Amino acid sequence: MAGNGAIKRDGGKGVKDMVMERIKSIKDIPPEENMLPGTPTCAGCGGLLALRHCMKALGRKIVIVNAAGCFTLLTIYPYTPFKNSWLYTAMACAPAGAQGIRDALDILIKKGRLDPDENLKVVVLTGDGSAYDMSLSSTSGAINRNLDFYYICYDNEAYGNTGVQWSGATPFASKTGTTPPGMLSPIGAELAKKDLFAIWNSHKPPYLATISPAHPVDLINKFKKAEQYKGPKLFIALSPCPPGWGIDPSYTVKLAKLAVDTGVWALKEAVFGNLKHTVVPKRFKPVEEYLKVQGRFAHLFKPVRQEGALNKIQEGVDEYWNRHKLLL
Amino acid sequence: MLTGNAAAAWGVRLAEVDYIPVYPITPQTEIIETLAGWISNGVMDSRFVTMDSEHSMLTAAGSASATGARAFTATSSQGLLYGFEMLYAVAGWRVPLVMVNVSRGLSSPITLEPDHNDVLAARDTGFLQIHCETCQEVLDSILMAYRLAEDERVLLPIFVNLDGFYLSFTREPVAVPDVEQVRNFLPLYQPKHAFFKASQPMAQSAAVLGGSSYSYFKYQMHMASQNALAVYKEVCDEFETGFGRNYDTVEGYMLDDADYVLVMTNSFSTLGKAAVKAARERGIKAGLLRLRLLRPFPVADLKAAIGGKKAVAVIDQNISIGKGGILHSEIASCLYNEKHRPLLLSFIAGLGGKNISPDEFEFIITKMIEGEDTEDAGTAQLIYTDKEWQEMGRLKGMAGKG
Amino acid sequence: MYRLRFHGRGGQGARVASKVLGTAAFLDGYYAQDFPLYGAERRGAPVAASTRIAEDPIMERGVIPEPDIVIVMDETLLQDPLTMPLSGLKPGGIVIINTTNSPAEAKAEYKINANVLTLGITKIGLDMLGMPILSTLAGGVAARIVGLSEDSLTEAVKKVLSSIITDKKLLDKNVAAALYCFNAITPIETKIELKTIDTNKKKSTVISLPFEPAAVSSPAINATGNTPLRMTGNWRVFRPAWNYEACTRCMICVARCPDGCILINEDGYPYTDYDNCKGCLICVEECPTNTLGKVMEVHAKKVIGN
Ligand SMILES: Cc1ncc(C[n+]2csc(CCOP(=O)(O)OP(=O)(O)O)c2C)c(N)n1
Ligand code: SF4
């Protein structure tokens, strides 16, 4: 069966990049698998699902530059799921690694030491802990230098690889290993999630978008659109994480959809700073529907309902959509 | 006439480096400003980028090297430590990055002047290390460094170290070689082991699980570093043939017939040589050994140079707090199993760029002679004078600590 | 010394079982050590954990390469070529298998050449706890086999679980289930002794590592797309099962699989790559028709075959 599968995974096509047009439905998603199974990520990892679609959109002529996180373990000697190149750097500096590779490829091509056909797109891949916290300096530098690269942040809203601790992306009232709800602080995380989209967008990069593993058509079209721009092309994927969020692995996609349908995760893009929402739910579901199915928010419902915190979360979401005049 | 920093820049220019990511720090800035000027004027065909930190700078330099470009970067003290994580990382990638460190004492207290705690902190990283005494040597060492690092038997990154101020800002005559001649000595870098190209995907710097894999990769780095000892000799011979200057792993000064030997590194060695000369004039058979290659550590050359001597004083311009001089420990471990090992004395001197005066050298040489008589090496000692102590007292008074 | 190794699937509780056993042994006055083995795998992969129990201070650390007793918490692991739970088992050693089969049947089915004990603890777990988490149950079984006391087991379950769960009722149920298992299994006479013996039977030779150039010895991978060799299919507790009658070939399952384990056959129908499917069951959850259902692996093996 595996042999059979290996042929199918290729969709019968070779390394050549397909020219990709905007797609309309799930049926149009390119059949090529550029990332093979057998990785050590958790069953039901939302980040992996998002990455799988990003890889379809990016093709194989890429080099991924990775920072410390769960996805560092995608390549474990002697295994790699990829048909493309990869470099693991460290937690703080994947964008700097992208800078070195991009510049080196450019100068080698310019000096005639590398065939232009050998050129690669440079793709940074990090978790939220890296993106929101430790690599802010190197990312800001790379965007500011207008580095021609992609950045994919799989945002599981915690330091996942170290066993789920608070990161700058952890939402208010979430339970993590370092924000345990207790007698004195029954809410869990007391700080609001950083708005990385806004931080990055203050640089007015050519392309910036939020994506969701549950919206692959939107995701792939965003990559397609980004392709036309030279410079930073940045993506943040809200990625349900079964062990971190306290959900059954089978529930990842449902939850990713709920995040969008409740308005918690706004699907949007910004071109040179100009913002547009790409998926706006017709009727927003109450945020509580999203919260109550997750173990990391269970303390908001039991043993006592944390009404104040629940209201605050809903108000935050409403405020966002009101501000953008999209709450009808 | 060139400063040590300008000589370093010339070395980089002659090596026709492809890529130079930088971050400024005193006393290294002249190197990167010089390179920036050349590139801006088109006399050098390299890509130059100012990064957001030394951590990023080292990452960019290492990953450019992992892509197949010849890369260079430079830093000093705080900057080196800020990028420290990436020293181990880049060495593990097995890429031949050449990096200049302009030595400067480490904070706290913050200072600008040199000692070697910065570069010696990196001695276990996998980077090779060449330490220079003169501006000419800085230029030449950069060329040799690329040859050594890019050799397939080695493939490890390398430091070329020079002292801040005492060398970085000191002008002295430097012969600048001809670029064609350099090209003969240093061919294009065309890696077979680490590159990025569409037709041959490569996953570099993969994670490993389990101690056996980790031990394998780490020990291979050690063996590659050990190989560098023999490769260095070849590079050294070829360099001498091409350019007429010889740089062995260690340099002896009035050493052959010496009974009492000072061991030093970097620019302060010049002061040591003067002290040796003065001692000879007083009829003392003094000599000096300057260590040039510190990683890999030239054990055999060191033993050959000081084995059978009466007494050896290691002057460490660094301090491993809680242990003492770093080089003293390293040299002692080389000599321990030797039959005719000299008495080995330990001195800490020149910390934070503190001058070592002739009186102080005389004290050290006298200690060697006394020690030889009493067969007692004594304990490690900081070289510090009464005058300095008095001056310090004055400063303490002004600081309200009187 | 007793050296015990627990093998389970992620979430079944092998680590906690080793802790319960270690704690119970300590409470009974023995020297004890327990140790979970971390792999690269996140949640879901097969897990191993070790417990050492001795009368003298324990001069060993890490994974137990040659156990006296192996506790197989998931029967299907016995056929897994990557986990190989019985590897290194000492002659005269004991294998305890979570199965409803008799020891003789299990011995025959899995061709085991050792002392075999069986107890269907999954069913006990479901009956007594309402869930297939087997940590305290496996701990109870192991405690009996090595001859620990009921009191210490009770205390150990309370100690270990109180740091994990807050639900007092669930804790009590766990104590009851552990004791039930403790009493449901009968120890067997065998030659393993509770005193320290040298484990290093097979002598290995220390070599001088040869130098290899960086093209060989850098931690870079020149192969591509070879993770399927890892066969993460062995992570599954449940498998997605297909019934194509209702399938409209909508491709939703294909788009939803994080691992890309749903492939398309010549007729355009999706099917699962069972060698690699981790069993997250997103496809089952997302299938808009009734094409996909879930079947427990143990049964799947018997009903469907592999
Ligand atoms: C400098 C440094 N500090 C800490 C760590 C430990 N560490 C490894 S992965 C990780 C979490 C990364 O979190 P995130 O970026 O959110 O990615 P995830 O693990 O969730 O995939 C941490 C803290 C590290 N590798 N390097
Ligand atoms: S911890 Fe979360 S993000 Fe990390 S591999 Fe598991 S599911 Fe994915």
For residue A129 and ligand 2, the question of a CB distance below 6 A is answered with no
C-alpha span between B369 and B254 (Å, rounded): 17
**Which atom of ligand 2 is the closest one to the Cα of A249?**
7
pLDDT tens track for C107-124? 999 999 889 999 999 999
The boundaries of the domain holding residue A270 are: 3-9+33-327
Helix boundaries (H) for B122-191: 135-150, 179-185
Confidence of residue A6 (pLDDT cuts 50, 70, 90): very low
Mutation target among A24, A32, A42 for the C interface, most CBs of C within 10 A: A42
Q: Which residue has the tokens 């609001």?
A: A192
Per-residue pLDDT tens over the stretch B210-268: 899 999 999 999 999 999 999 999 999 999 999 999 999 999 999 999 999 999 999 99
For chain C, the average pLDDT equals 89
Do the Cβ atoms of A85 and B188 come within 8 Å? no
Residue B209 CB neighbours (<10 A): 15
pLDDT category at A3 given cuts 50, 70, 90 is very low
Span C209-229, pLDDT tens digits: 999 999 999 999 999 999 999
Q: For the domain C2-184, what is the CATH superfamily, name and number? A: Pyruvate-ferredoxin oxidoreductase, PFOR, domain III (3.40.920.10)
**pLDDT attached to residue C288:** 97
Judged by CB atoms within 8 Å, which residues 161-220 of B form the interface with A?
188, 190, 196-199, 201-209, 213
Q: Do B57 and A96 touch (CB under 8 A)?
A: yes
Residue C304 scores a pLDDT above 70? no
pLDDT in tens, C276-302: 999 999 999 999 999 999 998 776 655
- Helices and strands (H, E) in chain A, number of each type: 11, 8
Which residue in B56, B86, B207 is closest to A141 by CB distance? B56
Q: Chain A within 8 Å of B269 (Cβ-Cβ)?
A: no
Q: Which atom of ligand 2 is nearest to the CA of A41?
A: 5
Please write the tens of the pLDDT for every residue from B173-208: 999 999 999 999 999 999 999 999 999 999 999 999
Residue type, B359: D
Largest CA distance in chain B: 71
Kindly report the CATH number that applies to the domain delimited by C235-296.
Answer: 3.30.70.20
pLDDT at C132: 83
Interatomic CA distance for residues A308 and C17, integer angstroms? 40
Name the average pLDDT for chain A.
Answer: 94
How many angstroms away from the CA of C190 is the closest CA of chain B? 34
pLDDT tens-digit profile of B340-390?
A: 999 999 999 999 999 999 999 999 999 999 999 999 999 999 999 999 999
SS3 C96: strand
Q: In testing the pocket of ligand 2, which one of A35, A66, A70, A294 has its CB within 8 Å of the most ligand atoms? A: A70
Name which of A148, A164, A147 is nearest A156 in CA terms.
A164
Pick the CATH number of B2-243 from 3.40.50.970, 3.40.50.150, 1.10.510.10, 1.10.3720.10: 3.40.50.970
Task: Decide whether any atom of ligand 1 lies within 6 Å of the A70 Cβ.
Answer: yes
User: Residue A142: CB within 6 Å of ligand 1?
Assistant: no
Is residue A214's pLDDT more than 50?
yes
C259 and chain A in contact, CB less than 8 A = yes
Cβ–Cβ of A137/B52 closer than 8 Å?
A: yes
How would residue C201 be classed by pLDDT, with cut points 50, 70 and 90?
low
Give me the pLDDT at residue C131, please. 86
Distance CA(A283)–CA(C58), nearest Å, equals: 64
Single pTM value for the model: 0.94
- Tokens of residue B352, six digits: 């934070």
DSSP-H helix ranges across B192-298: 211-243, 269-281
**A201 in any annotated domain:** yes
A32 phi, psi to nearest 5 deg: -60, 135
Q: Region A42-66: what's the mean pLDDT?
A: 97
Question: What mean pLDDT comes out for the span A82-92?
Answer: 98
Residue C215: closest CA among B236, A225, A186, B155:
B155
Tell me the per-residue pLDDT of C191-200, one tens digit each, with 9 for 90 and over: 555 444 555 4
CA distance A17 to chain C (A): 17
Q: What's the full length of chain B, in residues?
A: 402
Tokens 């799989």 found at: A154
Tokens of C148: 């620990």
For residue C60, the distance in angstroms to the closest alpha carbon of chain A comes to: 27
Nearest to B64 among A78, A84, A101 (CB): A101
d(CA B315, CA B364) in angstroms, rounded, equals 9
For helices C14-27 and C135-145, what crossing angle results, to 10°?
Answer: 40
Closest ligand 1 atom, residue A169 Cα = 16
Residue A38 makes CB contacts below 8 A (sequence gap 6+) with A79, A81, C227, C228, C229, C230, C231, C232, C259, C276
Give residue-wise pLDDT tens across range B33-76. 999 999 999 999 999 999 999 999 999 999 999 999 999 999 99
pLDDT of residue C188: 78
- Identify the weakest region by mean pLDDT among A54-68, B221-235, C72-86: C72-86
**B128-131 and B293-295 beta bridge pairing:** antiparallel
Q: Read off the pLDDT of residues C135-174 as tens digits, 9 standing for 90 and up.
A: 999 999 999 999 999 999 999 999 999 988 888 999 999 9
Edge-to-edge strand list for the sheet holding B98-103: B72-75, B98-103, B158-163, B128-131, B293-295
Calculate what percentage of chain B has a pLDDT beyond 90. Answer: 98
Chain B residues touching residue A141 (CB < 8 angstroms): 51-52, 56
What sections of chain C are H helices per DSSP?
A: 14-27, 103-110, 121-128, 135-145, 150-162, 168-184, 214-217, 252-256, 282-286, 297-303
The Cα–Cα gap between B22 and B111 comes to 21
Cα–Cα distance between B262 and B275 in angstroms, integer? 10
Q: Which residues from C are below 8 Å from A48, CB to CB?
A: 258-259
As a whole number of angstroms, the distance between CA B277 and CA A183 comes to: 76
Handedness of CA B123, B125, B129, B135 (dihedral sign): negative
Average pLDDT over residues B314-337: 97
Largest CA distance in chain A: 68
Which chains, if any, share at least 3 CB pairs under 8 A with chain A?
A: B, C
Tell me, yes or no, if C62 comes closer than 8 A to chain B by beta carbon. Answer: no
Contact A76 B209 (CB under 8 A): yes
What 3-state class would DSSP assign to C38? Answer: coil
What pLDDT shows up at residue C62? 87
CATH code of the domain made up of B250-389: 3.40.50.920
Residues 88-117, chain C, touching A (beta carbon < 8 A): none
Contact C39 B209 (CB under 8 A): yes
Distance (Å, whole) CA B115 – CA B344: 22
Total count of domains within chain A: 1
Pull the structure tokens for residue A158: 């915690």
CA-closest residue to ligand 2 atom 2: A241
B2-243 matches B250-389 in fold: yes
Measured from the CA of A70, which atom of ligand 2 is nearest? 4
**Contact flag A15-B198 (C-beta cutoff 8 Å):** yes
Distances (CA, A) of A149 to A63, A145, B240: 10, 11, 45
Mutate to test the pocket of ligand 1, among A39, A70, A124, A165 (most ligand atoms within 8 A of CB): A70
ipTM above 0.95, yes or no: yes
* Class of residue A304 by CB neighbours under 10 A (exposed 0-12, middle 13-18, buried 19+): exposed
Identify which of A159, A170, A196, A236 to mutate to test ligand 1's pocket (most ligand atoms within 8 A of the CB).
A159
CB contact under 8 A, C251 and A26: yes
Q: Is A241 in the pocket of ligand 2 (CB under 6 A)?
A: yes
pLDDT at A264 over 80: yes
The burial class, CB within 10 Å (0-12 / 13-18 / 19+), for C61 is exposed
**Residue B173: predicted pLDDT:** 96
Is B90 in contact with B58 (CB distance < 8 Å)?
A: yes
Measured from the CB, is residue A45 less than 6 Å from ligand 2?
A: yes
Inter-helix orientation angle C14-27/C150-162, to 10°: 130
Looking at B19-53, list the stretches that DSSP marks H as alpha helix, in order from N- to C-terminal side: 29-40
**Spatial separation of the C-alpha atoms in residues A311 and C171, rounded to whole Å:** 33
- What's the token pair of residue B101? 């460190």
Is A46 domain-assigned?
Answer: yes
The domain locations on chain B are 2-243, 250-389
Which one of C230, C252, C281 has the shortest CB-CB distance to A26? Answer: C252
